[in-house]
Chain A
């Protein structure tokens, strides 16, 4: 019995969609779980009814709505509500796909760097394009903090510009690394249980209790992380968008 904590991240093409250049575009298990996440969100938001007194499902839909809306209002102000659909889509997509991915034998979409990079770059270019379109060159005043003495201003500006362009990197790697690490840790500890049980017999069954307890604890933590990383991704998006909306601050 060998632990293979990486197998869960394999991309398996289910069928080929076409070719772009020399790349083969396939519908993969990752695509399937993206579709599942979209379907769950659509089902939750659209099939939950619009009663005056909400049922359970409708309550969940309305709580998600209010949660994202209040996050945007508190970090990016009322003007940030322009980006409500984008941030809601990001939050729900990441949250639902993470929560689906935590179920054993499923696939976690955001455990692949390319997906989180795609989402982070979407946010980065939205901020850049909207910021420049709305504020013109004034947008770049976010690189010039107020009240910095002239002689260190070039250094501060350099750091500000660097951190601005590193945003998509940290934004994407944070989500990717959290999901990847969590899933590997879960798999490793769960693998210990099986390994002990199969190799050491009765002693192993007793010895497996500890990694089993750890697996359960980790699993609970991963559920929290699945939600929390979606929230972190959404709130960072709000903060970045706030720069584009109010570059003076």
Chain B
């Protein structure tokens, strides 16, 4: 019994130590990427390539996700609000929810799944095939060349994707609200302007920017920490998606608490 307890305590100690070491390593990586973001040469071409990949290439999936989310959400709100005869409030409820929560969070989850995984897989496979070493031997900083454009690309693209999500989601809700549920178009729109303000939109944009940065840093960090061969790349990719999604959801909670107070 005593041995068992001792072993459990040892395991706990090892886990805590590993967690702290991991956090230290992640912090070190974050600091390096921040340092190299501001050091020339500025690689605009790589940044635009990443914005194109993360932003432009995600538009279709964002379009699909947002249109159906808006439509389904409008329908569900209608089912609930009909009971208290408040179904004309579908417009503001859906739009506020989209602006403050659904657009940044769902865009974040989509990008974490699609781009966070791609970042980890690309960098990870470069790591295991010594391509990162080749960059370093040439005198090119691999953090600056590989991580910085991806992190900045995600940070700049996600607010734009979130704004697109909001617009398309609103479109989906408007379609269901006015054409299926048959709420008057003027009432649907005018109630939104009565209940919404710019602070709500700003809250969503700020959240999306933070999520973009975190997805970028988690995806690239996992890529740089890949060890072994193909299995390692698979693990890194998996970790990038899992941690990216968890981080979006957890950080959303804290950001909501903080931003609600200041906006």
Are A and B associated in one complex? no
Which residues of chain A have a CB within 8 Å of any CB of chain B?
A: none
Which residues of chain B have a CB within 8 Å of any CB of chain A?
A: none
